[in-house]
Structure 1
Amino acid sequence: MMIRTATIEDLDAIAAVEAECFPAAEAASKDEFADRLVHYADYFWLMFDEDKLIAFVDGFVTNEPDLTDEMYAKANMHNASGRWQMIFGVNTLPSYRRHGYAGELIQRAIDTAKEQNRAGLVLTCKDELVCYYAKFGFMNEGHSDKSQHGGVAWNQMRLVLR
Structure 2
Amino acid sequence: MEITPVRPTDLPQLLAIEKAGFSVAEAGSEAAYRERIEKLATTFLVAREGDMILGFIVGPAVKARYIEDEMFAKTPTNLVRGGHQLVFTLAVSPLARHQKIGSQLLAALEQVARQAQRTSVALTCLARLVPFYEQNGYQNQGVADSSHAGETWFNMEKVLE
**Residue matched to 2:80:** 80
Distance 1:101 1:123 in 2: 17
**Residue matched to 1:109:** 109
RMSD over equivalenced CA pairs, Å: 1.3
**Residue matched to 1:71:** 71
Mean Cα displacement is larger for which, 119-128 or 79-88? 79-88
TM-score by length of 1: 0.94
Distance 2:106 2:128 in 1: 17
**Cα offset, 1:82, TM superposition:** 4.3
Contact 1:124–1:156 (Cα < 8 Å) also in 2: yes
**Residue matched to 2:160:** 161
Find runs of 4+ consecutive structure 1 residues off by over 6 angstroms.
Answer: none
- Structure 1 residues 82, 73: closer, same or farther in 2, change over 3 A? farther
**1:86-142 deviation digits (Å, cap 9, x = unpaired):** 001110111211111111101101111112111011100111111111122211111
Distance 1:2 1:159 in 2: 24
**Cα offset, 1:21, TM superposition:** 1.3
Contact 2:80–2:116 (Cα < 8 Å) also in 1: no
Matched residue SS, 1:48: strand
Mind listing any 5+ residue stretches in structure 2 that lack a counterpart? none
Contact 1:61–1:86 (Cα < 8 Å) also in 2: yes
Matched residue SS, 1:75: coil
Matched residue SS, 1:47: strand
**Residue matched to 2:140:** 140
**Residue matched to 2:34:** 34
Distance 1:37 1:44 in 2: 7
How many residue pairs were aligned? 161
